[in-house]
Amino acid sequence: MNRRKALQKTGVLAGTAVLMPSLLSLLQSCKTESRLDWQPLFLTDDEAKTISTLIDMILPRTDTPGALDVKVDLFIDKVFAKTYDESGQQKIRTEIAAFNADCKNNFGEAFINLDEQDRMEVLKTAEASSGKFNDGVWGTTIGKQEPVGFYRSLKSMAIWAYFSSEEIGENILNYDPIPMGYQGCIPVSDVGNRWSL
């Protein structure tokens, strides 16, 4: 539960000076819930929470691991830290800030402070309004790639990080490092999930 909703629900939003002990503990528990349990290399704690919350919603835990289970957020932070140059890093900060500014405009709070229903609305809007990636051939994009925006880029990074993680790559997808031969036409039911490599 986020602070704003908690306060609204308890009716103390309009400047009550003294908080009851039970309410205090409720607010503290909210805070504890969203405290980051890892140390980002590049992102601020709030930025990291934004990324973690987003990718958890895109790739949640089901009967298979979710993005957070395989530390997709930690890896994305590392990618920002180690593969982006300064201008690229600055752009990411600006994009996360703009994303949160949109959330504030439309829902009154930064993304991590919204309740689940509002977050769902944010993602649905982002899906519908974000650009798409062009197809690629031999490692390069075909045609002129228009910017896809923060959400689609992050989603793409999350998918890359998820599929290239050891747990998903070796245990959830079909891991076959040395196929030894090629069979060009087999029933998909013989394989199940996609090949890993």
Partner 1 sequence: MSYFLLILIFGFRNEIQMANFNIDAKKETTYDAIVIGSGISGGWAAKELCEKGLKTLVLERGRIVEHVKDYPTMNIDPWDMELRGGLTPEEKKTYKSSIRSGWVGTETKHFFADDAANPYTEVKPFMWIRGHQMGGRSLLWGKQTYRWSDLDFEANAKDGHGVDWPIRYKDIAPWYEYVEKFAGISGEALGLPQLPDSHFLPPMELNCVEKHIKSRIEKDFPGRNMIIGRAAHLTEPLNGRGKCQYRNRCNRGCPYGAYFSSNAVTLPAANATGNLTIRPYSIVQSIIYDDAKGKATGVRIIDAETNEAIDYSAKIIFCNASTLSTTRILMNSTSSRFENGLGNDSGELGHNLMDHTYRVGALGKVDGFDDKYYKGRRPNGIYIPRYVNIDEKTKTDKFLRGFGFQGGGGRAGTQAAANIESFGANYKDNILKPGPWEFFITGFAECLPYHDNKVTLNNNVLDKWGQPTLSIDGEFKDNEKALNKQIQEDAVAMLEKSGLKDVVGFDNEHGFGYGVHEMGTARMGRDPKTSVLNEFNQVHGAKNVFVTDGACMTSSSCVNPSLTYMAITARAANHAVSELKKYNI
Binding site for partner 1 (CB under 8 A): 57-60, 62, 64, 66, 75, 78-79, 82-85, 123, 127-128, 132-133, 135-143, 152, 155-156, 159-161, 163-166, 169-170, 172-173, 176-195, 197
- Which of 109/167 has CB closer to partner 1? 167
Question: What one-letter code names the amino acid at 83?
Answer: T
Half-sphere exposure of 164 (CA within 13 A, CB side): 9
Tokens linked to 76: 């994305």
Tokens linked to 25: 């503990």
- Which of 19/159 has CB closer to partner 1? 159
- Which of 105/140 has CB closer to partner 1? 140
How many other C-beta atoms are found inside a 10 Å radius of the C-beta of residue 168?
A: 22
Helix (H, G, I), strand (E, B) or coil at 136: strand
How many other C-beta atoms are found inside a 10 Å radius of the C-beta of residue 91?
A: 13
- Which of 7/163 has CB closer to partner 1? 163
Smallest gap from Cβ 95 to partner 1, in A, equals 16
Smallest gap from Cβ 101 to partner 1, in A, equals 21
Smallest gap from Cβ 91 to partner 1, in A, equals 14
Smallest gap from Cβ 170 to partner 1, in A, equals 8
Question: What one-letter code names the amino acid at 61?
Answer: R
Task: Find out whether 68 and 56 touch, Cβ atoms under 8 Å.
Answer: yes
